[in-house]
Structure 1
């Protein structure tokens, strides 16, 4: 997988009241980077997936995703929020690190699973999560590029 993350799709200090606000910011960045075809439709696709089951994965992290025809190229966007945002409404669990995964429907199985596998190997490590919380934008870009390229 090549160039899954664009430096402009890394956003820090999002001041959001709800997870949909964080997702909206990340979708706008993917749109600006030319990774999706329709900002509103992709946003709705991601929210529809969240409605099935929240993408809270523990460790104060959310992994929203959209596997749709509105994605031109498999991509990842990253957010660090200004404060905790409720990511699982049923349990009240919050997230401050968000990784939005966007995958074309035609690549949904293989590409999506590779991205998740590469991220999952690292997400359980506190050192990795803390590096995402404390690093500069350039450092986060380098960290995620290394992880996503496996």
Structure 2
């Protein structure tokens, strides 16, 4: 099974007032879990990507993603929010779950694209979305995401 989302990379009960707050949180968490060395550089990579077009998807999910030299290894962080965040999305539903993808700049054309593609496909699965949103168990979310990544 893939380990892009170990249980330590799942953060429940988070709070954010805006997309910018979420991106700052992801920058800080990327350093906390050991994926990156510079939270500000990661935040800037997230905001640069968001400026190109929204990463809000459907059903309350967003997939912010960043490529940066400050990211030392590819990985993902899942954050669930107690309150919906207004985020431009395909269905205008506030985001309650962000699945962030972080990769070193050197893996932009390979690992980054593969992870982004896999996450986009798994978010098309209504059962997956429903299961993730229905649980507040970090271990279960880790299992759901890693299994879905393996199925791609």
TM-score, normalised with respect to structure 2 = 0.88
1:85 Cα deviation from its structure 2 partner: 0.3
Distance 2:41 2:113 in 1: 23
What residue is the counterpart of 1:26 in the other structure?
26
Secondary structure at 2:77's aligned position in 1? strand
Cα deviation per residue 1:88-129 (whole Å; 9 max; x = unaligned)?
29x965211111110111111111121122222221122110
Q: For structure 2, which runs of at least 5 residues remain unmatched after alignment?
A: none
- The farther-off stretch of 2-11 and 121-130 is 2-11
TM-score, normalised with respect to structure 1 = 0.89
What residue is the counterpart of 2:108 in the other structure?
108
1:47 aligns with 2:31: no
What residue is the counterpart of 1:148 in the other structure?
149
Matches within 5 A, 1:1-150: 3-88=3-88, 93-135=93-135, 136-150=137-151
- The farther-off stretch of 45-54 and 91-100 is 91-100
Distance 1:148 1:19 in 2: 25
Structure number having the greater strand percentage: 1
> Aligned-pair RMSD on alpha carbons?
2.0
Distance 2:127 2:70 in 1: 34
Q: Is the 8 A contact 2:68 2:103 kept in 1?
A: yes
Distance 2:100 2:121 in 1: 17
Q: After the TM superposition, which segments of 4 or more aligned residues of structure 1 sit over 4 Å from their partners?
A: none
Q: Is the 8 A contact 2:67 2:104 kept in 1?
A: yes
Secondary structure at 2:10's aligned position in 1? strand
**Number of paired residues?**
149
